[in-house]
Amino acid sequence: MSRLYPCIFIFFFFASQLASQPLYSPLVIATIEINFEQSNWDAILDNYYAAGNGERLLATVEINGVSFDSVGVRYRGGGTYHPDNPKNPLNIKLDHVKNQDYEGIEVLKLSNGAKDPSFLREVLSLEAARQFMEAPRANYARVFVNGAYHGLYANVESINASFFERALQLDPDAPRFECNPSYDFDAVPQNPPFGCSVGHGASLEYLGPGVACYFDHYEMQSNTGWEALIAAAQTLANNPAATDQYFDLDRMLWWSVFNNLFVNLDSYLGAGARNYYLGSTADGRFVPVPDDLNESFAKYPWVDVDAAAGAQPPLSFFQQLSPWQGEDDPQKPLLQALLGQATWRRMYLAHYRTMVQELVSSGWLENRAGQLQDFISDELQSDPNNLYSFQDFEDNLTTAVVDSYDGYDAYGLLELMDGRVAWLQSLPEWQYQPPTLSNPGHSPAVPAPGENAVFTVELDEAADVWLGFRSNVKEVFKYYQLSDDGLHGDGAAGDLVYGVVLPVNAGGGQYFFYAENDLAGQFLPEKAAHVYYSLSTAANVVINELMARNNSTVADQDGEYDDWIELYNNSSQTIDLSGWHLTDDPLLPAKWTFPNGVFLDPGAYLVVWADNDTGQAGLHASFKLSAGGEQLQLLNPNLQVADEVVFPPLAEDIAFSRCPNGTGPFSTNEPSFASGNDAACATPTREAPLEMLTYYPNPAGSQVIFSTKNTPNGALLITDLTGRPVVRVALSGSIALDVSGWYPGLYLVLFNGRPAGKLVVVESK
């Protein structure tokens, strides 16, 4: 029978860190019921807002049927709040008085749709952004107050320490800043503190050595961080070529492209830099997170301060906004740095082309916007406090309407983007042809910890090539140049196969490739570094699976549902684990030690309960696993790291396990306690978003039926383990695919750009 691809058994995954919580399921409208004891709650909240001290009114709040008392509620919203509004933006703090949360969420941020007649901009923009960077989750919520329907809101995840820990694995104590100045941009402060320069929003300009220079422009949300921010700003001013020493280059590029493509001018890109957050990684690089996108798609009218004094620019102005906007603006030092270095500029353009293709040219944006509009139309029609007419809501998807809230034109989302992409693709830079990369890989397929690995990629022309590599998800990718000289595992010199040799630590790593000629660059995978390849290491004994929120999966000998860690012996020898160690703190490598007489047979599994209860019979570690994610290490008696894993926040009863069993990279899966993981790896988890498709049979040998109920039009993509597309097809309702000619093995299924599970293909009979 015919085969689709050569049989290459390389265990590395095409991966993207994506998580989903039911509170933010894309095509589910949450229900939030607020009950105040006071009937004049609106007047009280108005008074609290006017006082400006952040005071909250206590309420009982029910979220999707789960009730919380002693909740603090206040109004929020800046330009979208007004005491005369029939509904105002809300901030709901569940843990205002006591420690409580809804599925790990402690603060709810609800937007009223002001300045957006389409009521799509914020939710749609964030969903688009999350395909390329870490950004808040968002959907819609129907809100009731004291038993009466108050209206439909955009339900947007709050950006706080919990967000940075969940989405980016950042330490809760790491420097974090809200980059949203405390002053009105129509009255830029002209009297800065002594020794400070005048600032222009959260522009990352260097304003002087004193922390007081930055107080009006940024709000520090951590205990420390001013020195790090000042050092980063000083580097932008004095040594922009070293920008990547203080900023995560890859994420900064994606964020900058996103703001420009979507004409998101109420951001760092616009007249006054604002509406974003910064968090610092473990290796000291700042990462950006976009915020407040209700005025994306050219809704915010101003590009520079001078324009603010005149009329709103016409649609054509925004459609033809330069992709290099800000490159010559001293008030935008980050954009000057990114666009002023030749390689970074080519990377920026490569990302720009990818984002245009993935979101607009592919039809995703038009389809998704139409789905969301249809999805919320009934709710908006019944909303007693909607700020716009239903006709404006329907029209603004495709055509301009006059915004009754602020008087400016709200250009149609699709008319803006169709014209914008057509203009961008007419630019000379868009015609530059980058090198083509193919056949990415590494060898050996599963190196031992500390062993050298060879990373290779093929090109269609001689070019400069780099590998982006990191040892775990807490790190920033570092770049290593590849060679085609026959000396770096790359085959023969001049054969257009490029290679580099790197040692790989316990735990493996993630990687991607980038190549450029004199005109243009290209990434592989194209959505790097948000999407990347993974490789795993495998010692004789490995951490094979763990669970950090065991609610009902399996109980220990005392009937307690505790966290657990599963070890597996890959070798053919029985291994004595006496004196080995487990720790969740690299600074305390011997945090818990295996007692004498613990042996692990070949191909066997061993479970350690992580419950901080060493007095119980059996193996009980002296620590618990954090459901918010952390680092776990296995060390031998000499305190050498034999294996390690950095795991993300995990949902209840969801495991983090190696796929394939014993040797593969980690992913979230259904648990397979004290047994092999391969069957669980092939089964979609219960935490998949509700929009995801279903498919059966799985495993399959001949035909697979794919179907979806909640998304009438979507894009189905199936890749092999290298990320190479096998099938890409539009899906409406259901479709049958013949897999009888496919090589047996594991495939990855994506729907509308999101992981939807795994498919196992077996030999057809």
Domain assignment present for 93: no
pLDDT, residue 723, reads 66
Q: CA 26 to CA 620: how far, in whole Å?
A: 39
pLDDT tops 80 at residue 683 = no
Let me know if 149 is exposed, middle or buried by CB neighbors in 10 A (0-12, 13-18, 19+): middle
Task: From 88, 50, 77, 79, select the one nearest 407 (Cα to Cα).
Answer: 79
Shared domain for 199 and 341, answered yes or no, is: yes
Alpha helices (H) in 34-189, listed in sequence order: 41-51, 121-129, 161-168
Domain containing residue 572: CATH number: 2.60.40
Task: Give the CA distances from residue 165 to residues 34, 104, 158, 171, 256, in Å, rounded to whole numbers and listed in that order.
Answer: 28, 11, 12, 6, 23
Task: Give the CA distances from residue 617 to residues 108, 598, 623, 756, in Å, rounded to whole numbers and listed in that order.
Answer: 42, 14, 16, 40
Q: CA 577 to CA 575: how far, in whole Å?
A: 6
Shared domain for 658 and 636, answered yes or no, is: yes
CB 371 within 8 A of CB 712: yes
pLDDT, residue 738, reads 83
Q: CA 428 to CA 193: how far, in whole Å?
A: 46
Taking phi over 0 as left and psi of -120 to 50 as alpha, with beta for the rest, 371 belongs to alpha
Q: CA 347 to CA 325: how far, in whole Å?
A: 16
Shared domain for 671 and 748, answered yes or no, is: no
Q: CA 499 to CA 221: how far, in whole Å?
A: 43
In tens, the pLDDT along 333-369 reads 999 999 999 999 999 999 999 999 999 998 989 989 9
- Choosing from 410, 428, 446, the residue where a domain stops is 428
Shared domain for 640 and 567, answered yes or no, is: yes
Domain assignment present for 263: yes
Q: What percent of the chain has pLDDT over 90?
A: 74
As a whole number of Å, the end-to-end CA separation of the chain is: 12
Domain assignment present for 72: no
Dump strand ranges (E) for 210-335: 219-220, 276-280, 286-290
Per the model's pLDDT, the better-predicted residue between 83 and 682 turns out to be 83
Shared domain for 363 and 333, answered yes or no, is: yes
Q: What percent of the chain has pLDDT over 70?
A: 91
* Helix, strand or coil, per DSSP, at residue 141: strand
Shared domain for 359 and 418, answered yes or no, is: yes
pLDDT, residue 12, reads 36
Task: Give the CA distances from residue 360 to residues 211, 296, 366, in Å, rounded to whole numbers and listed in that order.
Answer: 43, 15, 7
Q: CA 294 to CA 292: how far, in whole Å?
A: 6
Domain assignment present for 40: no
Q: CA 66 to CA 101: how far, in whole Å?
A: 10
Q: If you average pLDDT over every residue of the chain, what do you get? A: 90
Domain containing residue 476: CATH number: 2.60.40.10
CB 472 within 8 A of CB 507: yes
Shared domain for 456 and 472, answered yes or no, is: yes
Domain assignment present for 323: yes
Shared domain for 649 and 577, answered yes or no, is: yes
pLDDT band at 414 (very low <50, low <70, confident <90, very high): very high
pLDDT tops 50 at residue 552 = yes
Burial call 60-98: b when 16+ CB within 10 Å, e when fewer: ebebeeeebeebbbbbbbeebbbeebebbbbbbbbebee
Q: Residue 269: what residue type?
A: L
Shared domain for 588 and 495, answered yes or no, is: no
> Residue 192's domain spans which residues?
113-428
Q: CA 268 to CA 601: how far, in whole Å?
A: 57
Q: How many distinct structural domains can be found in the chain?
A: 4
